[in-house]
Structure 1
Amino acid sequence: MSAVPSPSSFVPAADAERLAALERFDILDTPAEPAFDRIAHLVRLIFEVETALVTMIDAHRQWYKAALGTSLTEVPLGDSFCQYTLAAAKPLVVPDASLDARFSVNRHVTAPDGIRFYAGVPLVTSDKQIIGTICAIDRTPRSFSERELAILCELAEVVMSELELRQLATSDGLTGIATRRAFKAEAEKYVALARRHRSQLSVVTFDVDHFKKVNDAYGHAGGDMVLKAITRAAQDGLRKSDLLGRLGGEEFAAVLPDADAAAAMAVAEKLRYAFRGLDFPGSRPPIKVTASFGVATLDPGRDDLDSVLLKADEALYEAKRSGRNKSLAWRGATTATVADPVDRRRVLKAGRLVFNARRSTLDCTVRALWENGAEIQVASPADIPEEVTLEVVSSGHSWDARVVQRRPTSLELAFG
């Protein structure tokens, strides 16, 4: 194990090429999907371990695309076993973490029934960048043969093949509508046209309420039946000029050109009632579904696609928090959604927050930059003070900033 460097000897967060490769797949913070869940399930079945993960690693965290055997959805990179897998750029096996000096004081090891066994394999892109890992984890010490490690490496290749294929696909295999990537590429054209002509454009985002309960009760076949029916109902309720896409899992979005806020809200309500009235003959007990909707209208002089989608998502999350099965329009003002889209650049860069008279630092991931501010992701925004310094590791730039918006895992900063 001594060949694996310690975290102090590398700075994965500063690896701009690796983060650019991760950004290319546009998978961070997307919903769970059966293809990756099945791979995690195979890890548990083959190796008879308690926990199986398919993860992505950005500048400050390890995020779980698929996770079986844990309720966590992400961990800070500094707490993860996979930081060593990333540092070594090769598979890592830890037979008993309590006897390994690198992990024996890790909180996931010292906790009651903590981790003992770990095996992790990097997810490597075609251009040799590591974007994540596939892991087998258990609370009991155990050995891991060369054959078992070879199987885990093959499963890592399966994950990467799935990711690479998704980059090529334009139509979702289940519903037939645009994939997340294809939807966003086409939606950019709609937005550019609306901005050029200063015309109306609205976005509606929606997802199926409590979809996991459908899958749990009726299996993935039942869930697939619901998603297909939702798609057909949405297509029936939209105009031919509208653009519909599946963003992942049970999440969808529609771009409505030449539609103001009132027209978009009317469309959302039309779809909501249509979904609520769907029948699924043969299901016992009968399947009934509802959906929550977020509506936002483009400000052609200020918004780009990312910012108007952010508005709609914020409205959607508010609808879900306030009881679900409702449509809400975005109402608010955030730096990210009023920044000039000419200046606002979507990025994935390593960042560091400095505060407490430079005595405290915290790694973060910079998701967008503009002339007077930034959007960053952090593990826990709650304890970060109002005034900070943001440093971008790869470029050496830094800005004094104040926090103007706090979300569960992100902050918006205003410079100066």
Structure 2
Amino acid sequence: MDTMAVSQTQQAVANIERLAALERYDILDTPAEPAFDRVARLVRLIFDVETSLVTMIDAHRQWYKAALGTPLSQVPVRDSFCQHALLSPRALVVPDATLDPRFSANPHVTAPNGVRFYAGMPLVTEDGQTIGTICAIDRSPRDFSDRETAILEELAQVVMSELELRLLATSDGLTGLATRRAFKAEADKHVALARRHRSQLSVLTFDIDHFKRINDLYGHAGGDMVLKAIAQAAQTGLRKSDLLGRLGGEEFAAVLPDADGPAAMAVAEKLRLAFRMLDFPGSRPPIRVSASFGVATLDPGRDDLESVLLKADEALYEAKRAGRNLTMAWRGTTTATVAEKIDRRRVLKAGRLVFNDRKSVIDCTVRALWERGAEVQVASSADIPEAITLELLSSGNAWDAAIVQRRPNSVELAFR
């Protein structure tokens, strides 16, 4: 085996271990959270920079868990400064990107009013895996002292401590509901039982409409008051056998064992109306709250927890598109679940999509695999043709495939 092949093999193994470490935290694509937003604010205040980020890096993108000073929520990893953070556990400081040959041609640098200064500290797990970065960015060149580097390192440790605490916590500190991780662990048991006995089970997902406006108008204390009231009203409206969790931010989910579609719709409507009746004495102008709901029923022969949650989310997004303050049932108009997915495995693996006689390659992150298909995330699905090849870098496996479901940042594939 030549030197280049050995290097590629070592890199693939390192990537497998890094993605496995990232998956443990179940942080990707979760809503904004105050703890991480606070760190981003501190970066701006301490270093007086225009942009601050707390990011996670999967196989194809740098995703922003918290971001100030940019409208973006993610960038392809190939265009990110932070891809270099994967190569070293130390801080990466670039005083003037136009003078650095690694970055002078980067699109974020060459753009009008592009990046000049960058300082990034890797987020490193206890077992030495880099899963993301904390960044300070500005459009003007500047120096960064050893003292400032040490402060950025401490802030990175704050982020990692928060991630570790999330692993230990089973109840949300604000609402008392199950955390995202604890909810999914318990929900998996309910789904497994329903599948085993072919019994009814439904899922509700809901979030508070225009929650950002509430925070902007009444402050975070007002937002926290609304979240606690919503949690209490939802608990009151559900049975003791139902499972309720806060998935993050203003997003919630409930599992209703032994509930068919009509029963679940009735429960969702009851909660939606209860939220509209909530009163917040002393708020000026008076706080009025509404929520949008998505409802999906488990198909015991086809669904797992991830697919039934996806169906409920699709119904929730439909409710929002239709005007909010609505309850929608999943209409079965997408391929979120098919019979072949009975063996679906949730994964986080590096892959690539190959097409155009292997002249075109797009990096992707494989999020689920089953015998006859896969779900993969991409920076954009817009220019991907219907017929492609999926290559799994960790194993060398490759499948010719066709796109059966296309979303803005993901595609679902059927192997041919």
TM over 0.5: yes
Amino acid at match of 1:305: L
Give the partner amino acid of 2:49.
Answer: V
Q: Secondary structure, in 3 states, of the residue corresponding to 2:343?
A: coil
Kept in 1: contact 2:301–2:342 (CA 8 A) = no
Structure 1 unaligned segments of length 5 or more: list them: 1-7
Aligned to 2:202: 202
**Counterpart of 1:261?**
261
Q: Deviations over 1:166-189 (max 9, x none)?
A: 100000000001000000000011
Q: Distance in 2 between matches of 1:391 and 1:334?
A: 25
Structure 1: how far apart are the matches of 2:198 and 2:342?
15
Q: 1:45-194 to 2 correspondence within 5 Å? A: 45-194=45-194
| Residues 1:347 and 2:347 aligned together | yes
Q: Per-residue displacement from partner, 1:279-318 (whole Å, max 9, x unpaired)?
A: 1111111111111100000001111111111110111111
SS in 2 for 1:103: coil
Could you tell me whether the CA contact under 8 Å between 2:54 and 2:67 is conserved in 1? yes
| Alignment deviations for residues 153-206 of structure 1 (CA, whole Å, 9 cap, x no partner) | 000000000000110000000000100000000001111111111110000000
Q: Is the 8 Å Cα contact of residues 54 and 66 (structure 1) preserved in structure 2?
A: yes
Kept in 1, the 8 Å contact 2:56–2:132? The answer is yes
1:341 Cα shift?
A: 5.0
Letter in 2 for 1:403: I
Q: Deviations over 1:44-73 (max 9, x none)?
A: 010011101000000000000000111100
Q: In 1, distance between residues paired with 2:382 and 2:54?
A: 27
Q: Say whether the 8 Å CA contact 2:355–2:389 is kept in structure 1.
A: yes
Any stretches of 5+ residues in structure 2 without a counterpart? 1-7
Change (3 A) 1:225 1:12: farther
Q: Which residue pairs with 1:322 in the alignment?
A: 322
**Alpha-carbon offset, residue 332 of structure 1:** 2.2
What does residue range 207-226 of structure 1 map to in structure 2 within 5 Å? 207-226=207-226
- Once the two structures are TM-superposed, the CA of residue 92 in structure 1 deviates from its matched residue by 0.2
Residue 10 of structure 1 deviates from its aligned partner by: 9.0
Match in the other structure for 2:3:
none
Deviation at 1:342, TM superposition (A): 4.1
CA distance in 1, matches of 2:219, 2:402: 47
Q: Secondary structure at the match of 2:227?
A: helix
Deviation at 1:113, TM superposition (A): 1.1
Amino acid at match of 1:405: Q
Aligned to 1:3: none
Task: State which drifts further: 367-376 or 78-87.
Answer: 78-87
Q: CA deviation at 1:90?
A: 2.2
Kindly indicate whether the alpha-carbon contact (under 8 Å) linking 1:12 and 1:87 is maintained by their aligned counterparts in 2: no
How many residue pairs match? The answer is 410
| 8 Å CA contact retained: 1:336, 1:374 | no
Partner of 1:387: 387
1: CA distance, partners of 2:81 / 2:339: 38
User: d(CA) in 1 for partners of 2:172 and 2:279?
Assistant: 23
CA contact (8 A) 2:301 2:339 kept: no
Question: Are the structure 2 counterparts of residues 40 and 13 from structure 1 closer, same or farther at C-alpha, using a change threshold of 3 Å?
Answer: farther
Letter of the structure 2 residue corresponding to residue 118 of structure 1 = Y
SS in 2 for 1:15: helix
Higher mean C-alpha displacement, 246-255 vs 336-345: 336-345
Q: Match of 1:282?
A: 282
Mapped partners of 1:193, 1:267: distance in 2: 21
In 2, the alpha carbon distance for the partners of 1:12 and 1:123 equals: 20
Partners of 1:405 and 1:11 in 2: CA distance: 31
User: 8 Å contact 1:406–1:412 — kept in the other structure?
Assistant: yes
Normalised by the length of structure 2, the TM-score is: 0.96
* Matched ranges for 1:331-410 at <5 A: 331-410=331-410
Q: Which amino acid aligns with 1:198?
A: R
Aligned partners of 1:163 and 1:353: how far apart in 2?
31
Q: In percent, how many aligned pairs have the same letter?
A: 79
